Amino acid sequence: MVTLPMLWLPILLSTVFVFIAANILWMALPFWHRLDYGKIANDGPIIEVLKDVKSGQYMLPTVDWSKMTPEESARIQAGPGGLLLVRNPSTFNFASKLVSFFIYNLIVITFIAYACRLALHSGETYPHVFRVAAVAGFLAYSFNTIPDSIWYGKPWAITIRYAIDGVIYGLLIGGTFGWLWPH
């Protein structure tokens, strides 16, 4: 039987490999994720309106759809709407975000290891371990963003790039677990 402590090395190495791959995809490759966020030409008035809004997630427009007349509803639906994330103040500590992201990956990959230990036995072949761990990694990293495209209008091109990221992470996890699976 494979226990979770027996998988500490593949968990840790997979976390490092995914962390490095994610940083390459997000920071070193200018064509990959840098265009995920559009720019608003004159954002000054918007920033001014948001200066007293506390950090959080907001839906725009802010209306009670159940209390609107059909005419009001049609007028609102004819205009823009969106999901707004606000960080106020806009301070950003890059080092703490990297540490948090590393810990997030460690947690996700620990759950992948748990699923693998339930599905696989000691001495499994590399291809079998690779397939199970890679699929679990792909699912963990790729499908979490699809609801944002379905419900909130996130462009599908961005969601597809996230899914491709998930394929890469899944392959790294599968390869690492296949290589270091207990015999």
Q: DSSP string covering 14-73, please?
A: HHHHHHHHHHIIIII-TTTSTTSS---TT-HHHHHHHTTSPSEEEEES---GGG--HHHH
Q: How much is the pLDDT for 35? A: 87
Cα angle value 63/83/149 (rounded, 5°): 120
- What confidence score (pLDDT) does residue 179 get? 98
User: Where exactly are the structural domains of the chain?
Assistant: 4-39+92-180
Among the residues of 83-155, which ranges form H helices? 94-119, 126-142, 146-152
Residues of the chain with pLDDT under 50: none
Q: What pLDDT is attached to residue 53?
A: 93
DSSP three-state, residue 39: coil
pLDDT of residue 172: 98
pLDDT value of position 103 = 98
pLDDT value for 8: 97
pLDDT of residue 90: 85
User: What does the pLDDT read at residue 116?
Assistant: 98
pTM over 0.75: yes
